[in-house]
Structure 1
Amino acid sequence: MYLKGEKNYTHNTAIKVLRFLRKAMERAVEEDLLMRVPFPKVVLRMQPTDRGFLDDSDLERLRSVELSNPKLLLVRDAFLFSCYTGLSYADISRLVRDNIISMHGQSWVVLRRKKTGVLSTIPL
C-alpha cells in the first residue's frame, strides 16, 4: 500500500521494488543477518501493459518542429535517430564516426551494444 499510495508507484513499479527487496532479504538470510524472508510465498505478478508507440506522422511532426536551442536540436535528433535505428540512448551516446561504415554503396552503423555486448549492424 505504501508504494502505491504514498509513493504513487504503478503496480508494475511496486512489484519491481518488492522483487528487489525480496532478493536483498534472501541475501541477508544467506549471510545470517535475517532468520527468514518475511514474505517468501507472496506472489509478485506483473500486470500486462499496453506500451504506446509513435507512428510515422508523430515522428514527422517531431522532426519538423522549429527549435532554436542547439541542445534541444541535438536531443531531438538523437531521439529520432534512436526511433529509426532502434538503438538505445546508451548506445547512441557512445557512437563515434568510426561506427559509420560504407559497404556496397550503403551506409551502416556497426557497434557492439552496451547492454548485451552483441555486435549490431544497422543500415542507414
Structure 2
Amino acid sequence: MSNDVKTFIAYKSTAKERSYLTQEEVDKIIAKEFTIGRLQQVRDIFIFCCFTGLSYADVKKLKRSEIALGIDGEKWIFTKRQKTNTFSHIPILPNAFDILRRYKDNPECENRDLVLPVLSNQKMNAYLKEIADVCCINKHLTFHMARHTFATTVTLSNGVPIETVSKILGHTALKTTQHYAKVLDIKISHDMGKLKSSLVITKL
C-alpha cells in the first residue's frame, strides 16, 4: 500500500470522528453566568440544540408554530430537516423548555415568528470559542457539536435506544446514527458493569 493511500485512509478515518461534550462540560456551560449578552444568547441556543439535536440550519428556521402538544400532552417540536427533508418529532426536555420560555417575549422572535434569535453561523462559532475559553473547555467548540452532544451524552449515554435517537435526529439510515454509538466506551463500560453485577459467579 502506497503512502498516499495510507494518508488518505487515515484522513477519512479522522474525518468520521464526531466530537462532543461530556456531561461535565455541558454542566459547566449551563452554570456559567455571562455578563455579555451575546455570549449568553449563543450559550442558550447552543444548549437548546444539545437537548433537542437540532442542527444550526434547523434551529435558525424553527418557527413558534412548530411547537405543539405531542402524543403525551407535553410540548414537542414538529419540524422538517433542511438537509434531508425528513420530519423530526422531538419531545422538549426541561433544559430546552427553560430556554424557550426565556425568549418567549423577545421582540425579534415575535416579529419573525421564530423560536430563538439565531445569529450567523460564523458569529455563533466565533462566540462559542469565547465560551469554551471562559468555561475552561479544551475543545474546538463549534455549533455542530451540539447535535453530536445530543446523540451521545444526552441520549445514547442515558440508555435511549438508537432507533429512537435516529428518528429524533431525522436520519434516513440507522447506520448514520451508529457512528455516534461507536465512540461511547463509557456506555459500554456502564452496560457491562450492570451485566457483571447481575451475573452469578461460579468459582472454578
- TM-score band, normalised by shorter chain: 0.5 to 0.7
Per the normalisation by structure 1, the TM-score is 0.60
Higher CA-based Rg: 1
CA distance in structure 1 between the partners assigned to 2:39 and 2:50 by the alignment: 16
Residue 51 of structure 2: SS of its match in structure 1? helix
Q: Which stretch of structure 1 is more off in the superposition, 47-56 or 71-80?
A: 47-56
Residue 13 of structure 2: SS of its match in structure 1? coil
Structure 2 gaps, min length 5: 93-204
Partner residue of 2:79 out of 68, 93, 111: 111
Ranges of 4+ aligned residues in structure 1 off by more than 3 Å: 42-47
**For residues 29-82 of structure 1, what are the alpha-carbon distances to aligned partners after superposition, in whole Å with 9 as ceiling and x for unaligned?**
xxxxxxxxxxxxx85543312433212111111011111222211111111111
CA distance in structure 1 between the partners assigned to 2:53 and 2:91 by the alignment: 11
Indicate the structure with greater helix content.
2
Compare relative contact order (CA 8 Å, sep 6+) and give the higher one, 1 or 2: 2
Indicate the structure with greater strand content.
1
Q: Cα RMSD over matched residues?
A: 1.8
Aligned to 1:122: 90
**Quick check: 1:62 aligned with 2:57?**
no
Percent sequence identity is: 36
Residue 71 of structure 1: SS of its match in structure 2? helix
CA distance in structure 2 between the partners assigned to 1:108 and 1:86 by the alignment: 13
**Quick check: 1:80 aligned with 2:47?**
yes
Residue 85 of structure 1: SS of its match in structure 2? coil
Aligned residues: 83
Aligned to 2:59: 92
Aligned to 1:52: 19
